[in-house]
Chain A
Amino acid sequence: HLHLEEFISRIMEAEPPEIYLMEDMKKPFTEASMMMSLTNLADKELVLMISWAKKIPGFLELSLADQIHLLKCCWLEILMLGLMWRSVDHPGKLIFSPDFKLNREEGQCVEGIMEIFDMLLAATSRFRELKLRREEYVCLKAMILLNSSEYLCTSSPQTAEELESRNKMLRLLDSVIDALVWAISKLGLTTQQQTLRLGHLTMLLSHIRHMSNKGMDHLSTMKRKNVVLVYDLLLEMLDANT
């Protein structure tokens, strides 16, 4: 039951450090080389994402099964929101990392990826129009972590432990929503403008879910066609969704 200000500063502190791909980029890209760079980066980011989730106040108090379930559901949405945040001040570019920046045309070499790049660029422009603030961004990311639809809408807890974990998760979601409302209230807007902003920001979450679903299909197709070798943590996270 942390004060909102403290809650928000804890999730700000949980932010992962900047990550570099650290590969010799050979341009022009081939389908295989671009997919390899993208998956290598994703694999590194996933390790940091797990440390990030553990620092969200209350996350480690959920049952281990729920922690696993939530991360397996949302990982690509979280990666995509992070990508959009890094790209928000660079119109027309996707800043995967400081040493791995792509424009939409470069997506041409990977079958089916330009469509996803375009969606990411469009959603990034929307965040640019809205002038997304860092405090809002960290709240949205935590909301994505806790917003598994399977979890909230389809599973009914069977045991006392499951029920307790679900209740904790809902309380945690309350805290994150309160924190987002609080962050918006600091912007000097009228009450009506604050309500509209909350609506616009949260509606973007459905676009992020949609892009994540498209991205997941794309990655599993690339894996099936042996364009890229998916291994380790990324494989585990992908398999959970296919």
Chain B
Amino acid sequence: HTKLLQLLTTKPE
């Protein structure tokens, strides 16, 4: 998993 993908798919806090 790339960092961009990871940041895009994490739910906003």
**Chain A residues close to B by CB (< 8 Å):** 47, 50-51, 54-55, 64, 67-68, 71-72, 232-233, 236-237
Contact = CB atoms under 8 A, between A and B. Distances in A.
B8 A47 contact: no
Interface of B: 2-5, 7-9, 12
A interface, by DSSP: helix, strand, loop or mixed? helix
A50 B8 CA distance: 7
Contacts of B12: 51, 54-55
A237 B4 contact: yes
B interface, by DSSP: helix, strand, loop or mixed? helix
Nearest to B7: A50
Contacts of B5: 64, 68
Given A51-B12, A55-B12, A67-B8, 10 more contacts: A47-B7, A50-B4, A50-B7, A50-B8, A51-B7, A54-B8, A64-B5, A64-B8, A68-B4, A236-B2
A236 B8 contact: no
Nearest to A55: B12
A236 B9 contact: no
A233 B3 contact: yes
A118 B10 CA distance: 38
B3 A232 contact: yes
